[in-house]
Amino acid sequence: MSRDELEALQLSRLATVLDRVYNNVPFYKERFDAIGVKPAVVDPDADIEDFVDEFQENFEDIFAQHGYVIAGFHNYIEDVDEEKVLTKYDAFWTYSLCHMKYSSTVFDNEGMRPDASVFAPCTVYMYIPKGSHTLHIGMPLLANVKTALDIKDKMRIDFMDRLDKEIASVLEEEMDAQVTENINPFTTKVANEKKPAAKAAPLSSVAAKEIEISDKRLAKMYVFDGNIEAKYYPFVEKGINKIGFKLTDPHKRVNDHYKEKYGSTVLDVLGFMSITNEKVVKPLFNIDPRIAGFNPFNLLIYKKKSEKESYVGHLTANAILDMLSITDPKVREAYTNSMNQLDALIKKELGGKEEILEAKGYAKDRMMNFEIPFEKGEDIEDVVDAFQEKFEGAFEAKKYIIAGYNNYKETEGEDTIPDFDAFWTYSLCHFKFSYTIFDNAGARPEGGLFAPCTMYMYIRKGENKIIVGMPKLANWKATLGIADQVRTDFIAKLDHEIPAIMKGLGAVEIENTNPLVAVVPKKSATPSKKPEKKAAVVVKMPEPAVENVKSEPVAAPKTVTKEPVGKTQNISENAKS
């Protein structure tokens, strides 16, 4: 047997073992799923041409989805005698990349700078050094245009900065590229970006100005002997209506679907029952709309198989208000009173032993906040419909589940928020993430107090921007003292990924302040390295190597039909996919 044949046999056997343990051993499946990869058989004779064709198709589709135009393509390998000239390359081509709105903004209209077109279209080069199984990508930053031509007006500068960040984000987040130094790879060793976890760093490292928190009372929990489901579900579905609360999105026995999808569970019961009191919170939107960051919130139920007790509970009013940095006394008083009524009703109708779950600490940067501008004069309903379709498609493509949707303008008491043209919330869930945190070895089902994540969105009358806010998942880690590496890495991954998806939708990060009483500053960008230090991107190709474990491909965004309130996708239904 030749060496090549031996390596092919070894690789084939390794792939078989990985596939077998992934599909039959829960421990290994959990570990693979926790880091977001799935074993796949690697073709030892992986064809360069097939890889290039697939990559080019993905590149063109993804950038088209973000509003870019492929204005040119040139394949250097096909245009020269490759054996005599390009002896060091398996592939070498360029794209000419254009963004019509950007070009119109910079080259045309008032204050036009047609001289900037000397940089257009933007050339993106891509090549594979022979035998390297690595695709290299490079492109001059648009910051060069600003600096070389001394462009100073804010509108054009902001657009250039946005595209420089967006192009890098698309390559890194959606095409699994890794940033490298801008040096000649044939004469110098390329510095690997993995040194100080650059890829996992937040897109903006400037922390919002959050209030200091001293109250350690994170959640109020009620402890019951045995399984309390028979009393709990009817109480949430009907009982809470007596005091103005309502169930927005029920997700019963999520643990059953963990077992079905992942093959194991350490839980007897896990239920996410999102509730809100609209009569209370809607008037409060007029004072500080950030209160929607935890409304709806989860009236959690869980029970571990290893314990006889069931737990029912919710975050305290103070914890919610403090994590949102809401200080207005009227908001705090009204919201606290409504939560006190809920606790009194739970004690009266369910009973149980009352306990306080104390926070281990609080995150310093607790919120992610964005604004998405749109053209003045556009029909608000059309703007909302178009944005919601793009939002849902983008998040579902990244394996998130739209676990709830609540339109506050279409529910009872619309006239209580007359200063808003639109106001709605999404409940976001990532099934693999939730299983990793709440279930399996070292399960933390109490983390369900924060789930599903509520993301609020609104448009104030007369404004041409959508404001978006959501508590960060870092709150889970800090308040619950989550320390194990797998869970903390997954939390950091989603806190990085969600802003990246939002920026792909045209969002700009802003500070966590009440926009009704303050001018909201945009977040300062992370101090950037010199342009020449961020001009190249590396994409690793499949190669016949033992360590290659291929992640699942990202699905293309699909059109999502908006359903009525209460008819959103069920976590269990999506878990089966």
Lowest-pLDDT choice from 147-151, 231-235, 373-377, 567-571 = 567-571
- 518 versus 544: the higher-pLDDT residue is 518
Kindly report, residue by residue over 59-70, the tens digit of the pLDDT.
Answer: 998 999 898 999
Same domain for 268 and 154:
no
> Concatenated DSSP letters for 303-365?
EETT-SEEEEEEE-HHHHHHHTT---HHHHHHHHHHHHHHHHHHHHHT--EEEEEEPS---SS
Domain C-terminal end among 141, 158, 175? 175
Chosen domain end from 175, 202, 236? 175
pLDDT above 80 for 140: yes
Q: What share of the chain is helix, strand, coil (3-state, %, to 5)?
A: 40, 20, 40
**358 and 396 Cβ atoms separated by less than 8 Å:** no
Q: Is residue 190 part of a domain?
A: no
536 is a domain residue: no
Q: How confident is the model at residue 536 (pLDDT cuts 50, 70, 90)?
A: low
Whether residue 102 is found in the same domain as residue 232: no
Instruction: Report the distance separating Cα 269 and Cα 307, nearest Å.
Output: 11
Quick one: pLDDT at residue 117? 87
Same domain, 93 and 225: no
pLDDT band at 530 (very low <50, low <70, confident <90, very high): very low
In three state form, how does the secondary structure of 124-164 look? EEEEEECCCCEEEEECCCCHHHHHHCCCCCHHHHHHHHHHH
C-alpha span between 466 and 460 (Å, rounded): 8
pLDDT of residue 110: 85
Q: What is the share, in percent, of the chain residues with pLDDT greater than 90?
A: 59
Contact between residue 229 and residue 222 where contact means Cβ atoms under 8 Å apart: no
SS3 101: helix
* Residue 43 covered by a domain: no
Q: Are 498 and 470 in contact (CB under 8 A)?
A: yes
pLDDT beyond 90 at 341:
yes
238 three-class SS = coil
Counted domains in the chain: 3
Q: Rounded to the nearest 10 degrees, what angle do helices 278-285 and 329-349 cross at?
A: 170
Asked if residue 202 belongs to a domain, the reply is no
pLDDT at 4 (0 to 100) = 60
Would you say residue 187 lies in a domain?
Answer: no
Q: Do the domain assignments include residue 541?
A: no
What are 263-302's pLDDT values in tens digits?
999 999 999 999 999 999 999 999 999 999 999 999 999 9
Distance (Å, whole) CA 517 – CA 519:
7
**CA distances in angstroms from 294 to 65, 236, 277, 400, 406, listed in the order given:** 31, 17, 11, 19, 12
504-529: string of b/e by CB count within 10 Å (b at 16+)?
bbbbbbbbbbbbeeeebeebeeeeee
State the residue for tokens 């077992």: 259
**Are residue 20 and residue 114 in the same domain, yes or no?**
no
Token readout for 457 is 């969105």
Q: Are residues 227 and 150 in the same domain?
A: no
The predicted pLDDT at position 539 comes to: 57
* Predicted local distance difference test score (pLDDT) of residue 42: 36
Backbone phi, psi, residue 517, to 5° = -125, 0
DSSP bridge pairs for 314: 220
- Would residue 39 count as lying in a domain? no
Q: Are residues 356 and 254 in the same domain?
A: yes
Per-residue tokens: 504: 């792909």
Residue 208 is predicted with a pLDDT of: 41
322 and 359 together in one domain = yes
Among 114, 145, 175, the domain-final residue is 175
Residue 133 has which token pair?
Answer: 């199984």
Same domain? 23 vs 86: no
Q: Are residues 229 and 306 in the same domain?
A: yes
Among candidate residues 246, 573, 571, 562, the one with its CA nearest the CA of residue 405: 562
How many other C-beta atoms are found inside a 10 Å radius of the C-beta of residue 450? 22
* Residue 459, domain CATH: 3.30.310.70
Q: What is the mean pLDDT of the chain?
A: 83
Same-domain status, 249 and 340: yes
Kindly state the average pLDDT of the residues 93-122: 89
Give the pLDDT confidence of 460-474 residue by residue, as tens digits: 999 999 999 999 999
**Does residue 560 carry a pLDDT above 80?**
no
Same domain assignment for residues 234 and 383: yes
| Cβ count near 285 (within 10 Å) | 22
Domain hosting 297: range is 217-527+555-575
Q: Does one domain contain both 475 and 566?
A: yes
Residue 146 clears pLDDT 50, i.e. is over it: yes
Q: Is residue 542 part of a domain?
A: no
Please give the angle made by the CA atoms of 542, 543 and 549, to the nearest 5 degrees: 60
Secondary structure string (H, E, C) spanning 19-69: HHHHHHCHHHHHHHHHCCCCCCCCCCCCCHHHHHHHHHHHHHHHHHHCCCE
Q: What is the pLDDT of residue 272?
A: 97
